[in-house]
Amino acid sequence: MINKQILIILVSLISSLSVFSQISEGGTPPSFRYKNSTRSALSVSQVPVNLDISRLTWEDEMVEQRKDAPLRIAKVIPVNINIDSIGSWTTFSDSVKIWQQVIEAEGAQGLILGYKDFYIPEGAKLYVYNEDHSRILGAYTRNTHPQGGKFASEIIAGDKITLEYVASTISNESPRIVVEDVGYVYGDNFNTALRALPTSPPRINSSQSCMINVNCADGANWKDQKRGVVLYQVKLGGNWFVCSGSLVNNTKRDGTPYLLTASHCFNTNGIVEYETIVVYFNHEFPGCENEDVFPVTSRTLVGTDLLVQMPLERISGGIQTHGSDGALLKLKNNIPLEYKVFFNGWDRRDVAASSGVVIHHPNGDVKKIVTFLPREDLKTPVTTETYRGGSGYNGATNGFWGVFYDGRSATQGGSSGSPIFSQNGLIVGTLTGGVNTTDYCLYRNSQEYFGKFGYHFDYLEDESMQMKKYLDPINEGTLYLRGYDPNNPLGIEEPKIDNSPQELVVFPTLADNEVNINANSIIRTIKVYDLNGRQVYSKSGYNASTTTISVDSWTKGVYSILVQTESKKLSGKFIKK
The CATH number of domain 212-481 is 2.40.10.10: yes
DSSP state of 217: G
Query: CA 550, 551, 552, 555: dihedral to nearest 10 degrees?
Result: 160
Cα-based distances in Å from 483 to 37, 277, 346:
53, 24, 8
Handedness of CA 81, 85, 87, 91 (dihedral sign): positive
Segment 238-279, tens digit of pLDDT: 999 999 999 999 999 999 999 999 999 998 678 999 999 999
Contact 362, 211 (CB under 8 A): yes
Q: Which residue has the higher pLDDT, 25 or 454?
A: 454
Angle CA(59)–CA(212)–CA(447) in degrees, nearest 5? 60
**6-20, 326-340, 359-373, 437-451: which range is least confident on average?**
6-20
Segment 475-505, tens digit of pLDDT: 999 999 999 999 985 655 443 333 344 678 8
For 539-551, what is the mean pLDDT? 90
Contact 400, 432 (CB under 8 A): yes
For 223-230, what is the mean pLDDT? 97
Contact 536, 576 (CB under 8 A): no
Q: Where are the domains of the chain?
A: 17-194, 212-481, 504-576
Q: Which amino acid is at 222?
A: W
pLDDT surpasses 60 at 203: no
Angle CA(131)–CA(119)–CA(294) in degrees, nearest 5? 40
pLDDT surpasses 60 at 66: no
In the chain, how many H helices and how many E strands? 5, 36
End-to-end CA distance of the chain: 36
Q: Which residue has the higher pLDDT, 206 or 143?
A: 143
For 20-47, what is the mean pLDDT? 76
CATH node for 504-576: 2.60.40.1930
Angle CA(289)–CA(294)–CA(297) in degrees, nearest 5? 85
Contact 233, 387 (CB under 8 A): no
DSSP state of 349: S
For 533-542, what is the mean pLDDT? 86
